[in-house]
Structure 1
Amino acid sequence: MRLPDSFFDEIRNRLSLSQVVGRKVVWDMRKTNQAKGDWWAPCPFHQEKSASFHVVDDKGYYYCFGCQAKGNIFKFVQETENVSFMESVEILAREAGLPMPARDPKAAEVADRRTELAKVTEAATKWFRLQLNTGAAAEARAYLDRRGLHRETVERFEIGFAPSTSDALIQDLTAKGIPYDMLEATGLAVTEDGRGRRDRFINRIIFPIRDARDRVIGFGGRAMNPNARAKYLNSPETELFDKGANLYNLRAARQAAGKGHPFVVAEGYMDVIALHQAGFEAAVAPLGTAVTERQLAMMWKVTPEPLIALDGDAAGQKAGLRVADLSLPLIAAGQSLRFAVLPQGQDPDDLIRAEGPSAMQRVLDGARSMLSLLWAREIEGKSFDSPERRAMLDRDLRSLLGRIKDSSLRKQYRAEVARKWTELFDLPFDGSLDPSPSATLDPTAYDAPTHDGVTVYDATPAPTPRPRIWRDRHTPAPAKSVTRNSPIAQGSLNPDTVLEQVALAGLVLHPALLEEFTATLEDMTWSTDQTARIALALLDVPAGADTATVRREMSQNLDEDTLDRLLAQPQVSISPIAKSGATSETARRCILDVLNRLAARRGVDRERHEAIEDIVEGADEGITWRLAESTRWLEAANKPAEGTEDSLSETSNAAHYDSLLATPKGKTRKDG
């Protein structure tokens, strides 16, 4: 059953090819040019050591110069997952967070209709361009000349003209066999009660809008009549045109950014065109609306730090702050925005015409960080001459930082805000967020030694802050080692690695479970390169393979003795999965047990870091309880569930994993 083309487009918009391929390969960063979306790696389809597998994000294809494998994002999933085309679509749709469209017989008709609508917009584009050369467009051509647009630029952006006659487009295109309902469906024609049919664009300079597939999906029109109700008019939302999911000039800008041009987000069509003509070819603009989350995602696919060009007036500043507020929960390491603020009263077009491209380059070179823009909003024009006003600023800043979801980035922002705070109030900077000059905290000393699994950072007037270690009275006594010979007790292995090895060995010895745990292998963050390589090799095993086939297939992608070393590990050899006669169900329970324990251990680690961050922000009695509980959870995570015959120790323990992760009555845990 055929799916709409728009659905495939949305998957491609949300997922880059390198993002999907990156799950199966290790990129060669010496050859890779990430900024250009040009990636290289050893081929996942044949055994090799050199990086001959080439991924081009901009064009959405891959090619291996060794085995000649080639295709797009759907073909890659088909080949690597050994699934049908429709199954590959379902896999990618889940990853992109998209529900599969209903598979009805009309899907093909919908796709065909969109194709026909795109033909109508192409015909209209040609018609508008022809009108620009007529006598009726003399004033429009004079306007473009006054704006400094070269003839080549007008041709490049396919600029056209809609004459003053109210139904000129309708008359011409219907005479060529295009039904009126198709003109109406593309937003080119309007039916008004009591006034009949008319063109949507009348006496306007026309800017065709193309999508990433180079189809004309809509139009923007600049009024020639100074008394028009709207200076700029865009196509309405149609089956082709989704304003919030497209950017003007995106396709060409993406290609230019791949060649090293700065990726600039301007306000409107003329700004983009002026920037392009001045040599800033990687320029885009939203389509008559505020920037959306989908548009931000599209920008970040092109470059990790798009430059938002803000007009030098109050409206431009407000627009920039709206973008910053929208993006704050979405930013992460290597994914942010910078803001290029133009001189007062100027937009990019004004600045370039007045002072030339070099002036625009200086503005881009001086782009401000997002935090700088947000900080300025919080303090400019305000007085903090009382404790109440300073407390209000402190509250607002904490609220701002709390919206950042990435914990690592939130910590960096907190440190920078603390530095700015001390500068604002002329206080000594000690690396903390706490503005009080009588308290010093060290929010970065996360690796300090612990006692009974708990480390806290005490407020003290000492000039050089150091972590103080103490034990809460509710913290249980240290857990005793349950085996003298376990790798954890001996300290020879990271406990996470031990658990990972047991799970991976279980899948090697019981390959019938591979299908059930495929998603886990793909999504898991592995503690070592070796376990990551074993997991990738397991993903390449063909469906239905037996143990001998698994070992043979995996040996082609791993060093000869890697599997032997894995299966010889003490924690594996004493595990139920390795015992003679072990069933798949026994192995399944054992694998689930160690995966649960891994999840618990990593959850405890996150909980501790968040609790420590909260101590930095201002401790309360609940934080001490959380740290104490995290120690208890960690002990539970190192104990086996009932019936799994502990693979890491010589004793068995009652199943209480779920109860220990549950929150006791009267207590709360941050973020659920």
Structure 2
Amino acid sequence: MSLSPQFLDELRNRTTLSALIGKTVKLQRAGKEFRACCPFHNEKSPSFYVNDDKAFYHCFGCGAHGDAIRWMTDQRGLPFIDAVKELAAAAGMEMPAQDKRQAERDMRAKGLREAMEDAKAWFAEQLHGLEGAQARAMLERRGISAETARAFGMGFAPDSRTKLRQALAEYGDAMLVEAGLLIAVEGKEPYDRFRGRLMIPIGDVRGRTIAFGGRIIGDGEPKYLNSPETPLFDKGRNLFNLDRAQAAARKTDRVIAVEGYMDVIALAQAGFAEAVAPLGTAMTEHQLERLWRMADVPLLCFDGDAAGQKAAIRAAHRALPLLQPGRSLAFVTLPDGQDPDDLVRGAGSAAFEALLGKAQPLAQRLWEHEVAAEPLDTPERRAGLRRRLTELAQGIGDPMVRDEYASEFRRRFEEMFARPARQFQQRGYDGPRGGKRGNWKPPPRPVGTKARGVHASGLDPMLARAVLAGLIRHPAEIARHMEVLGSLRIGNGALERLFAAVIDVALEARQLDSDRILTILEQSGFDTVASELLRADTLPFSFTRKTTDEARARADLNEAIAVMVARPAVEAAIAEATALVNVDETGEAFARQVALLRQRQELQARLANLILADEEDFDD
């Protein structure tokens, strides 16, 4: 679907921004504007302002800035097109016409969504009826309040094969089967899938019901029964409570992944609204990507039993190929045999918060798991440990992270199995008889935080500006680099916000060309900086020019992105190696420093090849 700038302008004009934001944020009148404590970061005094005349919000504390559409995508976590649809519906505007095939798919999905919402309402009604007494008693035993049950839309499916089918008969058996609410058996009448179960709705990123999880009341198997995969529900791509957790994660700057629905619900009731859970499967790559969109280091808090710890290790192994600088996992270890639900009910939220504060880094969890895998009392078994650790490091996709893990595992191995150090007598000044200084060197000092902080200082500003200009010129290239672009830390607030704005717009409206992206950016207050980026005399690269051959510009832009992403990690590694050179007697640090300096030169040469050489190239 292509959205014209005129349509988006009209949508913003019809949306009163303070009314939209005021639904979830308490605003106070401040002259012609409204102000509040910022919903995007924790603060005690208000620095978040909403201006209806200019149709934008701005936080002077964290720099959050945008219009009504940006509010829906950043605060509500909606995809761009879904945000536009919701605002258009509220404003009484018709969305632009779709192609016929897409319209048919949307109508079919609409029917399924309505069926799921009606099923949710019917299950909730049964929970509060006569037949729901056992389910209500179970919630009471689990300490789940009526308010929490309502917030999560919980319900009850009577132990009947036909009651839901009869209640939703208007949709027809075929649609209810497709929605996963009925089971079809050849030669027999379809019957209700969920019977005698506490019902927990599963929502999509917008909170729309797409599936159900049903917990058995009393004894029986399976304990939990989930909806099958449907046109609405892909269990490997969704997370339970994702819609609520996204907003909470922005405030707490963390997300907690637990094993089950009841863990999430109990944690939410205890004040941990940023909790999510996979949907009856091991954690998938898609779910990990979802978690990383909410926090750089998600906390995995699986049950303390053997099965829970095995699930944690599986998630750790699955994450390795996806790791990037600054993006990892951490693991919260629960008491043996307990799950988060048990812990918060028995020991309270403070005890759980304390465990979160002791979360174990991914490298530490992998190391401990491999060390405990078998005895290490023979050379062969120690060699087996070394081989397993090497294979884990080699499974990491990012070369810089892979190198760091290999070094970390090697250091730990050498420390564990090193021979006892021999006593070393200092050969220094011998006193007034005229001795001489020997070869004594001070013991190695740990690498300082300054060396380790080089990567955190951000990207080369000139190169980042050039790449951003190139992405505005060639928005189709964003999709090719979505993962790395979404994880960049530029170190420049305004530039980083513009980066995010460009990526958001292009990803959610892929048919937009450069001019349309600029129009949308102007509406979000980025017109000045975006125009400055595209000035012909500002940046000497082919991909920042209008008249450059398209194929050449795209190839050069891809090369520039590769250099931009690689340089900070190389600089950080050089700083660390340099700090160790003078205290490392093995020569390994010097050899590493030389190799890294060579990498830096190669990157500089690659970048130099991209800079336009003659004056003709600078004419636009």
**Do both share a fold (TM > 0.5)?**
yes
* 2-structure distance, mates of 1:109, 1:558: 38
* 2-structure distance, mates of 1:415, 1:341: 25
Q: Deviations over 1:498-549 (max 9, x none)?
A: 9999x99xx9xxxxx99976778998999999xx89x99xx9x9869xxxxx
Cα distance, 1:195 vs structure 2: 3.9
Equivalent in 267, 272, 280 of residue 259 of structure 2: 267
Give the structure 1 partner of residue 204 of structure 2: 211
* 2-structure distance, mates of 1:56, 1:427: 64
Cα distance, 1:341 vs structure 2: 1.4
Equivalent in 288, 312, 315 of residue 320 of structure 1: 312
Amino acid at match of 1:238: T
Partner SS, residue 305 of structure 1:
coil
Partner SS, residue 209 of structure 1:
strand
Give the structure 1 partner of residue 217 of structure 2: 224
Equivalent in 294, 300, 304 of residue 308 of structure 1: 300
TM-score normalised by length of structure 1 = 0.57
Contact in 2 for aligned 1:61/1:72 (Cα 8 Å): yes
Aligned CA distance change for structure 1 residues 640 and 243 (closer, same or farther; 3 Å): closer
Contact in 2 for aligned 1:204/1:221 (Cα 8 Å): yes
- Where is the helix percentage greater, Structure 1 or Structure 2? 2
Equivalent in 151, 161, 170 of residue 165 of structure 2: 170
Q: Which has the higher contact order (CA 8 A, sep 6+)?
A: 2
Aligned residues: 489
Aligned CA distance change for structure 1 residues 427 and 275 (closer, same or farther; 3 Å): farther
Give the structure 2 partner of residue 399 of structure 1: 391
Aligned CA distance change for structure 1 residues 198 and 604 (closer, same or farther; 3 Å): closer
Contact in 2 for aligned 1:312/1:346 (Cα 8 Å): yes
Contact in 1 for aligned 2:567/2:603 (Cα 8 Å): no
* 2-structure distance, mates of 1:262, 1:514: 30
Contact in 2 for aligned 1:32/1:39 (Cα 8 Å): no
Q: Deviations over 1:301-329 (max 9, x none)?
A: 22222221121111001100111111112
Cα distance, 1:333 vs structure 2: 3.0
Is residue 123 of structure 1 aligned with residue 118 of structure 2?
yes
Contact in 1 for aligned 2:55/2:68 (Cα 8 Å): no
Q: Deviations over 1:264-308 (max 9, x none)?
A: 211111111111222222221111111112211221222222221
Could you tell which deviates more after superposition, 122-131 or 353-362?
353-362
* 1-structure distance, mates of 2:162, 2:188: 12
Cα distance, 1:253 vs structure 2: 1.9
Is residue 388 of structure 1 aligned with residue 383 of structure 2?
no
Give the structure 2 partner of residue 658 of structure 1: none
Amino acid at match of 1:212: V
* 1-structure distance, mates of 2:374, 2:246: 41
Aligned CA distance change for structure 1 residues 163 and 595 (closer, same or farther; 3 Å): closer
* 1-structure distance, mates of 2:567, 2:64: 39
Amino acid at match of 1:364: L
Give the structure 1 partner of residue 345 of structure 2: 353
Equivalent in 231, 241, 246 of residue 238 of structure 2: 246
Is residue 294 of structure 1 aligned with residue 286 of structure 2?
yes
Contact in 2 for aligned 1:275/1:281 (Cα 8 Å): yes
* 1-structure distance, mates of 2:410, 2:121: 57
Could you tell which deviates more after superposition, 198-207 or 288-297?
288-297
Equivalent in 168, 173, 186 of residue 180 of structure 1: 173
Partner SS, residue 302 of structure 2:
strand
* 2-structure distance, mates of 1:153, 1:514: 45
Q: Deviations over 1:92-146 (max 9, x none)?
A: xxxxxxxxxxx85221021012112111111111111121233333322222222
Aligned CA distance change for structure 1 residues 584 and 125 (closer, same or farther; 3 Å): closer
Aligned CA distance change for structure 1 residues 238 and 587 (closer, same or farther; 3 Å): closer
Cα distance, 1:409 vs structure 2: 3.1
* 1-structure distance, mates of 2:546, 2:558: 18
Partner SS, residue 272 of structure 1:
helix
Aligned CA distance change for structure 1 residues 380 and 114 (closer, same or farther; 3 Å): same
Aligned CA distance change for structure 1 residues 427 and 280 (closer, same or farther; 3 Å): farther
Give the structure 2 partner of residue 11 of structure 1: none
Cα distance, 1:606 vs structure 2: 11
In the TM superposition, 1:435-450 aligns within 5 A as none
Amino acid at match of 2:123: F
Aligned CA distance change for structure 1 residues 236 and 76 (closer, same or farther; 3 Å): closer
Give the structure 1 partner of residue 358 of structure 2: 366
Aligned CA distance change for structure 1 residues 253 and 542 (closer, same or farther; 3 Å): closer
Compare CA radii of gyration and give the structure with the larger one: 1
Cα distance, 1:148 vs structure 2: 1.8
Aligned CA distance change for structure 1 residues 109 and 322 (closer, same or farther; 3 Å): same
TM-score normalised by length of structure 2 = 0.62
Partner SS, residue 318 of structure 2:
helix
* 2-structure distance, mates of 1:555, 1:326: 42
Aligned CA distance change for structure 1 residues 611 and 56 (closer, same or farther; 3 Å): same
Amino acid at match of 2:102: A
Quote the RMSD (CA, aligned, Å): 5.8
* 1-structure distance, mates of 2:489, 2:341: 50
Partner SS, residue 334 of structure 2:
strand
The share of aligned pairs that are identical, in percent, is 36
Contact in 2 for aligned 1:312/1:341 (Cα 8 Å): yes
Partner SS, residue 165 of structure 1:
coil
Contact in 1 for aligned 2:40/2:251 (Cα 8 Å): no
Partner SS, residue 300 of structure 2:
strand
Aligned CA distance change for structure 1 residues 34 and 398 (closer, same or farther; 3 Å): farther
Aligned CA distance change for structure 1 residues 193 and 292 (closer, same or farther; 3 Å): same
Amino acid at match of 2:236: G
Contact in 2 for aligned 1:118/1:215 (Cα 8 Å): yes
Q: Deviations over 1:388-443 (max 9, x none)?
A: 322222222122112223334334434432442233224589xxxxxxxxxxxxxx
Amino acid at match of 1:220: G
Contact in 2 for aligned 1:33/1:39 (Cα 8 Å): no
Give the structure 1 partner of residue 151 of structure 2: 156
Partner SS, residue 272 of structure 2:
coil
